[in-house]
Amino acid sequence: MGEITDIIRVYIVPELLDDFSKDFSLDLRANIKDQLYDGHGYDTGNLKRNIRTDVRPLSKTSRMITGYYDEGNADYGIFVIRGIRGKGRVAPIDFLGDGLKATLEAYIN
Query: Would the pLDDT of 106 be above 80?
Result: yes
* Dihedral over alpha carbons 26, 27, 28, 29 (to 10 degrees): 50
Per-residue pLDDT tens digits for 78-92: 888 888 877 777 888
| Averaged pLDDT, 31-35 | 94
Name which of 17-26, 81-90, 91-100 the model is least confident about: 81-90
Residue 4 has pLDDT above 60, yes or no: no
Q: How far is CA 76 from CA 11, 15, 16, 69, 89, in A?
A: 38, 39, 37, 10, 14
- With a cut of 70, say whether residue 72 has pLDDT above it: yes
Q: Which residues contact 46 (CB under 8 A, 6 or more apart)?
A: 73, 74
Write the pLDDT tens digit of every residue in 39-69: 666 556 688 889 999 999 988 888 999 999 9
Select the more confidently predicted residue: 6 or 25.
Answer: 25
User: What's the maximum distance between 2 C-alpha atoms anywhere in the chain?
Assistant: 52
pLDDT value, residue 60: 83
